[in-house]
Amino acid sequence: MRRLASRFIVLSLLASSAVAASAAVSAPALAGCAPDAAYSVTNAVYNHKDMVSYSSAPGGHTLSITITAGLSVTATFSGALQTEESIIIASAKETWGLSFALTLSASIAYSDSWTVPSTWAHGQLHAGADRKSFHWSYGHFAPTCSWVVVRSGTSIAPYHVPAFWSVKA
Amino acid sequence: MVSILVLATAAGCSSSATGHSAASRTPNSPAQLLPSRTAASPIGTVIAARHGTGPATVALTLPSSDSRLTLRLACDGDSVADLINASGTAELHVSECPSLGVLYDSAFKPTAADRTIRVALAPTTQWSLIVWAG
């Protein structure tokens, strides 16, 4: 049962402030398992977020978008305390090895272009950020060594700007 | 209140897409980093540079039938924007204009219908258009 802990990113030190209000977490262990608190992030799914309006044109046209510095995209959370958002981001970084951030900004100008295939009636060129949506949970071990989820929710967090993608319209 | 960006940029290349929805995504091409806002212009010479507020029509003198036309639009306001030629073809569509600081280019081989370009957007939307041919 203790092996279950390997499935979780244990961030006890980081988590301590976030979980101070949780009596269940601070309760002493009565039996075989210490009440290690941990965050778990699972079920990551890729998506992208437009940071600017997209453009479109007929087939054969070459579309370009230039975005200038200063645009930003921010992570969203459901069910999380504000104080633990950075911990969830840290867990996601550790789990998937990507540069997740609460906020990502375009620090310089970026440009990309794409030619709409001539066989298409129209194509769209988008510019934005790469993100992943994932499920997060915060919990601890009960004295009986079962895992107790204290809070859980979903997050959509950016990890790369810029991203350009094209869509048939 | 609004500054119209008149930027000259160099564009990179990306691969074609095959999807039909927003979920279909091309591999990212390496984004071309611009050293400054005065980077290289599209190929050709500027044949028109206009700015204004609300709808307008811009007449173009096309140098030859083989010329490639590049339309560059920046706009700011609460509307979509279209650059439409005389035959009614939208040579460039921008989904929403509150995009100050964003430049949209559309490059293509023009036809006779492209001798006039209608800037279609809301009456209060500010815009800037530069056209290169070459």
Residue A161, pLDDT score: 92
Question: Rounded to two decimals, what is the model's pTM?
Answer: 0.74
Reported as a pLDDT band with limits 50, 70 and 90, residue A169 is confident
On whether any CB of chain B is under 8 Å from the CB of A67, the answer is yes
Residue B35, pLDDT score: 30
- DSSP run (H or E) holding A88: helix A85-96
* pLDDT tens-digit series, residues A15-52: 444 443 333 334 444 557 887 889 999 999 999 999 99
Asked if A162's CB is within 8 angstroms of B24's CB, the reply is no
Divide the 134 residues of chain B into consecutive groups of 10 and give the mean pLDDT of each group: 34 33 33 35 86 94 84 92 97 87 92 95 94 91
Residue B133, pLDDT score: 92
Asked if B17's CB is within 8 angstroms of A61's CB, the reply is no
Smallest Cβ–Cβ distance between A167 and the set B17, B97, B98 belongs to B17
Residue A125, pLDDT score: 97
* pLDDT tens-digit series, residues A76-105: 999 999 999 999 999 999 999 999 999 998
Residue B96, pLDDT score: 93
Residue A69, pLDDT score: 72
Residue A31, pLDDT score: 54
Asked if A68's CB is within 8 angstroms of B91's CB, the reply is no
Contacts 24+ apart (CB under 8 A), B56-60: B56/B118, B56/B119, B56/B127, B57/B116, B57/B117, B57/B118, B57/B119, B58/B116, B58/B117, B58/B118, B58/B119, B58/B129, B58/B131, B59/B115, B59/B116, B60/B114, B60/B115, B60/B116, B60/B117, B60/B131, B60/B133
Mean pLDDT over each residue of chain A, to the nearest integer: 84
Reported as a pLDDT band with limits 50, 70 and 90, residue A1 is very low
Residue A138, pLDDT score: 95
